[in-house]
Copies of this chain bind each other. A is one copy, B any other.
Amino acid sequence: MPKRADLSDTFCPVGRSAELLGDRAVLLILRELFFGRRRFEPIAANTGLGPQLVSARLKMLVAEGIAERRVYQLRPLRYDYWLTDKGKALFDVLYAMRNWAERWAYAPGEIGAGPAIRYVHRACGSDVGTATVCPGCGAELGYGDLKGEPSSALRAEQVARTA
């Protein structure tokens, strides 16, 4: 493909987000970072992306101020990746994607009864379903407020990927 058109200077906020998020690899890597995986190999394994793509995208996310590269071990020198505040703020987008998929992207009965990932409000313990405001206590929900529990089917899939 020719160099893809640059949207980072459009005045449209969706266009600016699309420049970053309109990329499968970026979305998958962000998913892993939100899931608490911070190291290169687990991220590559769980996304199924090749190391070259993972490397390129992580570099970009660091350059954009969305992730931070930290040394976690000196000998041998090793790095891992952490979300910045700008990165953590993307949780709402991924959460909206999850909510849409839970409702629209599964065939009836495909996954059993409950959702593929159950989210619980840490502060009050309520199952929040697909809400953006806690149905139990009324608090607004963002990254850090929620605890995600993957269904057994999803957990099995993750184990298979890393094996």
Chain A residues with a Cβ under 8 A of chain B = 4-5, 7, 10-19, 21-28, 31, 48, 86, 89-90, 92-106, 111, 115-117, 132-133, 140, 150-151, 153-154, 157
- Enumerate chain B residues within 8 angstroms of A4, measured Cβ to Cβ: 24
Question: What DSSP secondary structure best describes chain A's contact surface?
Answer: helix
* A92 touching B100, Cβ below 8 Å: yes
Copies of this chain = 2
* B14 touching A27, Cβ below 8 Å: yes
* B105 touching A17, Cβ below 8 Å: yes
* A24 touching B13, Cβ below 8 Å: no
In whole Å, how far is A34's beta carbon from the nearest beta carbon of chain B? 8
With both beta carbons as reference points, the residue of chain B lying nearest to A117 in the complex is identified as B13
